[in-house]
Amino acid sequence: MEYDYDEQIYDSIKMRLAAVRESVADCCREAGRDVSDVTLIGVSKVFPVGYAEAACVAGLKDLGENRVQEMVPKIERFSSIGLDCNWHLIGTLQKNKVKYIIGKTSLIHSVNTIELAEEISKRSESNNVTTRILLQANVSGEESKHGFAPHELRQAIDHIMRMPNLTMCGLMTMAPIQTYEGEAREVFARTRNIFEELTSYVGTPDWTVLSMGMSQDYRSAILEGATHIRVGTAIFGNRAEYTAV
């Protein structure tokens, strides 16, 4: 099997991945949580496919992409060389791109409108698959962030639960760029509270996923109950020298 990376890339990613895993374990111990409760998603956004391959070979089995046009070729490349991982779509998803990823994702984190959920449901039904999704919650209230405001979530859930071929698994949020120490953790704590309040409202065993935290703030996210963290730079390095395909 011929991979699309060199030994230096592999060694660098393996070292970074080990450091992140150690950090995650430390955070879990501090929070009194089992490390197996936290899924580490490596975000290979804009990096060449070889970086994703190296991470997978190094033992990372969950990979995330922000853009459909990057995710699909990477999935196809993995399939062609027999590499298997769970793919997460974590970025803004346009309705006209849904058709390209149906049946190819482990989880879509960024469902931010009823209309997008309807399109995913329609495409999933026509392809005879069930798609797992998260609702994106804009807890920070930033205009630049997509997602449902906290007061909109129950109405969204009511609509989406009636849609066929969707499994609603929980919430995703993004913290703001911090203007003071601890701001991200405050947003994560509020999101956790909302998630827990909605658990009985949703009333299904699938409502188990709380996706929050990236390279700069995943430690705070774990301390506040994140089940999935989305880590790019800390695993793959600086993106500045690469451009999206």
* DSSP summary character for residue 91: S
Q: How confident is the model at residue 243 (pLDDT cuts 50, 70, 90)?
A: low
Q: For residue 127, what are the domain limits?
A: 7-235
Residue 83 within any structural domain of the chain = yes
Question: What residue spans of 58-178 are helical by DSSP H?
Answer: 68-81, 114-126, 153-160
In this structure, which amino acid lies at residue 151?
A: H
- What global pTM score does this model have? 0.95
Residue whose C-alpha is closest to residue 245's, from 25, 17, 52: 52
Assign 241 to helix, strand or coil.
coil
Tens digit of each residue's pLDDT (9 = 90 or more) over 123-134: 999 999 999 999
Give the total number of structural domains in the chain: 1
Taking each helix axis from N to C terminus, what angle separates 49-57 and 68-81, rounded to the nearest 10 degrees?
50
The CA angle 153-154-156, to the nearest 5 degrees, is 65
| C-alpha–C-alpha distance, residues 168 and 133, integer Å | 5
Residue 2 within any structural domain of the chain = no
Residue 244 within any structural domain of the chain = no
| C-alpha–C-alpha distance, residues 143 and 70, integer Å | 26
More confident residue, 6 or 159: 159
Q: How far is the CA of 182 from the CAs of 14, 195, 219, in angstroms? A: 30, 20, 11
Longest distance between any two alpha carbons in the chain, whole Å: 51
Residue 148 within any structural domain of the chain = yes
Tens digit of each residue's pLDDT (9 = 90 or more) over 224-241: 999 999 999 999 998 876
Tens digit of each residue's pLDDT (9 = 90 or more) over 8-42: 999 999 999 999 999 999 999 999 999 999 999 99
Tens digit of each residue's pLDDT (9 = 90 or more) over 83-100: 999 999 999 999 999 999
Mean pLDDT of the region 44-63: 96
Mean pLDDT of the region 162-185: 88
Q: How confident is the model at residue 176 (pLDDT cuts 50, 70, 90)?
A: confident
Q: What CATH number does the domain containing 115 carry?
A: 3.20.20.10
